[in-house]
Amino acid sequence: MKAEDRAPDRYDPAAVEEKWQRRWREERTFEVRADGTGEPYYVLEMFPYPSGRIHMGHVRNYSIGDVIARHRRLCGHRVLHPIGWDAFGLPAENAAIQHGEPPATWTADNIAHMRRQLERLGLSYDWSRELATCDRRYYRWEQHFFLEMLARDLAYRKRSQVNWCGSCGTVLANEQVVDGRCWRCDSVVEQRDLEQWFLRITAYADELLRDLDRLHGWPERVLTMQRNWIGRSVGAEIRFELDGRPGAIDVFTTRPDTLFGATFVSLAPGHPLAAELCHGTPAEARLAALRATVARGDAGDDAKEGFATGASCRHPLTGAQLPVMVANFVLMGYGTGAVMAVPAHDQRDFEFAQTCGLPIRVVIQPADGELDGATMGGAWEGPGRLVGSGDFDGLDDETAKERITQALADCGAGRAAVSYRLRDWGISRQRYWGAPIPVVYCAACGVQPVPREDLPVLLPEAVRLTGAGGSPLATLESFVETTCPACGGPARRESDTMDTFVESSWYFLRFVSPWDDRVPFDPGELSFWLGRRGVDQYIGGIEHAVLHLLYARFFTKVLRDLGYTELGEPFRNLLTQGMVTKDGAKMSKSKGNVVDPDYLIERYGADTARLFCLFASPPERDLDWNDQGVQGMSRFLHRLWRLAHDVAPRLAAPGTPRPPAPAEADDTLHRFTHRTIRRVTVDVADRLHFNTAIAAIMELVGAIETGAGTASGAALREALDATLLLIAPFVPHVANELWERTGHATSLEAAGWPTWDDAALVEPEVEIPVQVNGRVRGRVRVPSGASEADVVAAALGDENVRAHVEAKTMVKQILVPGRLLNLVVR
């Protein structure tokens, strides 16, 4: 034993933790390659943004992942447990603007600090796979994938209305706008017209939706959020010819059954026809005004505003003349940007019709009602039978949907259609600290991809960041000026960078071979760790339910179709952990209620910090910070330490079998040990209920304390070894130390996860209620597995039972073994 390996006899978390962390580092304990024995298991926590310091949310997230990783290793799995840095993004750039420090330096410093913090938590990462997305070796492949997507029309450029956050000075994807505000800084988002790069996620809408049904290991809540976000609607597209001029308005509706109730048609303010129809008319000014309110995002949810264009169109089946309106609640980005308005059966249309004095026609009559357009107080959106609908009268709404759609198809005025809420993913960001988009613009040849051999397009480091609007790279002539790969003439580089969510969409794949510069994913490592399975367990916050988790699913499918993998879904099992709160509020800098993990580690040690995060609440629930709770965990580890040292002299040598005729104290402890092994195994392996697992181990510690004086050395050995093995995933440092100190020559890891003996779970005696004619008259204790005759004999030994059967005739005896005896008498 080396001198520094000898920690003092009092529990000193700092010394113990340093010793084991050094050993794991020196022995590269957690480095794995795709070879050797053991079934592969890939556990991953959502990688952090290197903001500077870790917070309690990280500690919780990574502790959960580490328990799973360490438990699986003990079970004999070959475990891949990597970590990296989601290193591009706005804060680095803002820090640079404020303090003049280059984003690359700021980021590298933060990573160094946070890496040290993670190491101090004793997390069992394979550090040889550490990656940072701002590393050219990483984003080079991202640029490569972008070009492949470009070649397959999965990436494209278009001018469109985009979400603009003025305070972040950049465009946001739809997923990054929450209730009309920026997901990062909470400012109100405006609409701007910009040329942007998009990834065609809508080409995968159907598959993204369909495959949700296969994700049995995902929380129902996340599946629902994704389903709603993709928002598949089945209905019809219907054509309304314009009246007195060429052209037509196509609408998307989910209610073709209400076609005869359409009394006007509404266009989105941004619809090209709206501008065309209003051009040169008094409506032109109103259109401009309405567009402005929509662009500012203050078109309130309740105010249905709009106006008549003056133009009209024709009902496709009746030929009736219907006015064409513009309405603020019709969105350009959904369906066709136009709706057929059915005020009697759509509440928005109802309100709009009332403000504009437009007719309301009832065409669906509910089973028990007599709706009347003149008197109804709101739209009837429910089911019913058709009225006022010509040949379709009397049909129920579901049948009518099909029939009317068919009738429209027959006359060429419509067809069945599916619409998605999901929009293509706008990935251009007018910011510096991101992966350059690898294209150039040539006046003669247009958009040209950068040749593969010229990748990566390096992000230049010497950029002056001022915070003034516009893409910072655009001001750097040495970056922008280039030559066209096609004609050799002068060309300009794209100066926008990619959304950082692109990096996090595929990092879990790159972990299989982050060192490889020839291919993005080493085939052997890839098929071993991911194959068609995907990450076995992914852990992260619910806030990514649509953003990151949807993008990652999309990228996975694209990379599969590009031939890089065989994987259809990235994450087999997903655990969304709750927040860390203090006094009921989310821990956050702005609330000033942050507990610093460093303080916790210094004061109590990493094992205590981990144990608290895992014990105080089940992983999916919020965890409320509690000083007493932390102290309680610390006291428990001190208690465990003392107990191990107290019983150490009495322990039998490791592996000593139980004596053939054990004393009762031995048997009790033996049974308790095996019951605990089973409880903890079920909680950890199947349910991820770490809090109840820890509670069970605590009870076992209590049982060892009770049995310490009476149980044999073999029983104590069995119980203590099991305790240390079961608790090792939670508090690996102290568990390994005590393992070593209690006479084990081989490592705790080598011992493996304990298994229970079913025979030991059998209670030696059971209590059985005894019924006489169906009413409980007594209880007897009998050896478990006792025969019916024995149980009946015991029952008749009970005074009360005997009083109820005496002088009667026994008709029947029914024994439910181990549970109940029923005596039927007459």
Interface ranges with Zn ion (CB under 5 A): 442, 444-445, 484, 486-487, 489
Nearer to ligand ANZ by C-beta: 170 or 419? 419
Nearer to ligand ANZ by C-beta: 330 or 728? 330
**Residue 631 touches which of ligand ANZ, Zn ion, none (Cβ within 5-8 Å per kind):** none
Q: What's the rounded Cα separation, in Å, for the pair 405 and 418?
A: 13
**Residue 486 touches which of Zn ion, ligand ANZ, none (Cβ within 5-8 Å per kind):** Zn ion
Residue 741: in which H helix or E strand, if any? Answer: helix 732-741
Nearer to ligand ANZ by C-beta: 127 or 334? 334
Nearer to Zn ion by C-beta: 450 or 770? 450
Length of the chain: 826
**Residue 330 touches which of Zn ion, ligand ANZ, none (Cβ within 5-8 Å per kind):** ligand ANZ
Q: How far is the CB of 84 from Zn ion (least distance, A)?
A: 38
**Residue 682 touches which of ligand ANZ, Zn ion, none (Cβ within 5-8 Å per kind):** none
Q: How far is the CB of 54 from Zn ion (least distance, A)?
A: 48
**Residue 570 touches which of Zn ion, ligand ANZ, none (Cβ within 5-8 Å per kind):** none
Q: Are 278 and 309 in contact (CB under 8 A)?
A: yes
Nearer to Zn ion by C-beta: 442 or 751? 442
Q: Are 211 and 203 in contact (CB under 8 A)?
A: no
Nearer to ligand ANZ by C-beta: 210 or 214? 210
**Residue 487 touches which of Zn ion, ligand ANZ, none (Cβ within 5-8 Å per kind):** Zn ion
H helices of 708-814, in order, are: 713-727, 732-741, 748-751, 758-761, 788-796, 799-805
What's the token pair of residue 313?
Answer: 């169109």
Q: How far is the CB of 448 from Zn ion (least distance, A)?
A: 6
Q: How far is the CB of 507 from ligand ANZ (least distance, A)?
A: 34
Q: How far is the CB of 232 from ligand ANZ (least distance, A)?
A: 8
Nearer to Zn ion by C-beta: 118 or 491? 491
DSSP state of 585: E
- Quote the strand ranges of 432-519, DSSP E: 439-442, 446-449, 481-483, 490-493, 497-498
Q: How far is the CB of 474 from Zn ion (least distance, A)?
A: 19
What's the token pair of residue 129?
Answer: 């796979």
Q: How far is the CB of 427 from Zn ion (least distance, A)?
A: 24
Nearer to ligand ANZ by C-beta: 258 or 500? 258
What's the token pair of residue 263?
Answer: 């009394």
**Residue 681 touches which of Zn ion, ligand ANZ, none (Cβ within 5-8 Å per kind):** none
**Residue 444 touches which of ligand ANZ, Zn ion, none (Cβ within 5-8 Å per kind):** Zn ion
**Residue 334 touches which of ligand ANZ, Zn ion, none (Cβ within 5-8 Å per kind):** ligand ANZ
Nearer to ligand ANZ by C-beta: 344 or 703? 344
User: Do strands 481-483 and 248-253 pair parallel, antiparallel, or not at all (unpaired)?
Assistant: unpaired
CA distances from residue 464 to 88, 98, 639 in whole angstroms, order as listed:
17, 12, 57
What's the token pair of residue 136?
Answer: 């050219």
Q: Are 697 and 680 in contact (CB under 8 A)?
A: yes
Nearer to Zn ion by C-beta: 91 or 485? 485
Q: Are 346 and 379 in contact (CB under 8 A)?
A: yes
Q: What's the rounded Cα separation, in Å, for the pair 313 and 293?
A: 26
Nearer to ligand ANZ by C-beta: 145 or 260? 260
Q: How far is the CB of 771 from ligand ANZ (least distance, A)?
A: 58
CA angle 292, 293, 294 (to 5 degrees): 90
Say whether 30 sits in a helix, a strand or coil. coil
Q: How far is the CB of 340 from ligand ANZ (least distance, A)?
A: 5
Nearest CA among 558, 569, 505 for reference residue 532: 569
Q: What's the rounded Cα separation, in Å, for the pair 313 and 323?
A: 6
What's the token pair of residue 206?
Answer: 């159907």
Q: How far is the CB of 302 from ligand ANZ (least distance, A)?
A: 15
**Residue 419 touches which of ligand ANZ, Zn ion, none (Cβ within 5-8 Å per kind):** ligand ANZ
Q: What is the DSSP string of 132-172?
A: ETTSHHHHHHHHHHHHHHHHTTSEEEEEEEEEEETTTTEEE
**Residue 252 touches which of ligand ANZ, Zn ion, none (Cβ within 5-8 Å per kind):** ligand ANZ
What is the torsion angle, in degrees rounded to the nearest 10, for the CA atoms of residue 394, residue 400, residue 404 and residue 406? -120
Nearer to ligand ANZ by C-beta: 122 or 337? 337
Nearer to ligand ANZ by C-beta: 335 or 449? 335
- Exposure class string for 130-167: b at 16+ Cβ within 10 A, else e: bbbbbeeebbbbbbbbbbbbbeeebbeeeebbbbbbee
Q: What is the DSSP string of 249-308?
A: EEEEES-GGGGGG--EEEE-TT-HHHHHHHTTSTHHHHHHHHHHHHHHT---SS---EEE
Residue type, 784: S
What's the token pair of residue 304?
Answer: 């249905």
Positions touching ligand ANZ (CB under 6 A) are: 233, 252-255, 258, 268, 329-331, 334-335, 337, 339-340, 342, 345-346, 419
Q: Are 499 and 130 in contact (CB under 8 A)?
A: no
Does residue 456 have a cis peptide bond before it, meaning omega lies within 30 degrees of 0? yes
Q: How far is the CB of 417 from ligand ANZ (least distance, A)?
A: 10
**Residue 205 touches which of Zn ion, ligand ANZ, none (Cβ within 5-8 Å per kind):** none
**Residue 254 touches which of ligand ANZ, Zn ion, none (Cβ within 5-8 Å per kind):** ligand ANZ
Nearer to ligand ANZ by C-beta: 184 or 348? 348
Return the half-sphere exposure (C-beta side, CA atoms, 13 A cut-off) of residue 168: 29
What backbone phi and psi angles, to 5 degrees, belong to 158? Answer: -155, 155
Q: How far is the CB of 263 from ligand ANZ (least distance, A)?
A: 11
Question: For residue 712, what are the contacts with CB-CB under 8 A and spacing of at least 6?
Answer: 652, 658, 659, 662, 663, 665, 666
**Residue 442 touches which of Zn ion, ligand ANZ, none (Cβ within 5-8 Å per kind):** Zn ion
**Residue 499 touches which of ligand ANZ, Zn ion, none (Cβ within 5-8 Å per kind):** none
Nearer to ligand ANZ by C-beta: 270 or 438? 270
What's the token pair of residue 614?
Answer: 């895992």
Nearest CA among 174, 49, 198, 148 for reference residue 507: 49
Q: How far is CA 161 from the centre of its chain?
A: 29
Q: How far is the CB of 322 from ligand ANZ (least distance, A)?
A: 13
Q: How far is the CB of 443 from Zn ion (least distance, A)?
A: 7
Q: How far is the CB of 124 from Zn ion (least distance, A)?
A: 52
Nearer to ligand ANZ by C-beta: 423 or 645? 423
Nearest CA among 583, 558, 543 for reference residue 502: 558
**Residue 156 touches which of Zn ion, ligand ANZ, none (Cβ within 5-8 Å per kind):** none
Q: What's the rounded Cα separation, in Å, for the pair 776 and 767?
A: 13
Q: How far is the CB of 254 from ligand ANZ (least distance, A)?
A: 4
CA angle 808, 810, 816 (to 5 degrees): 135
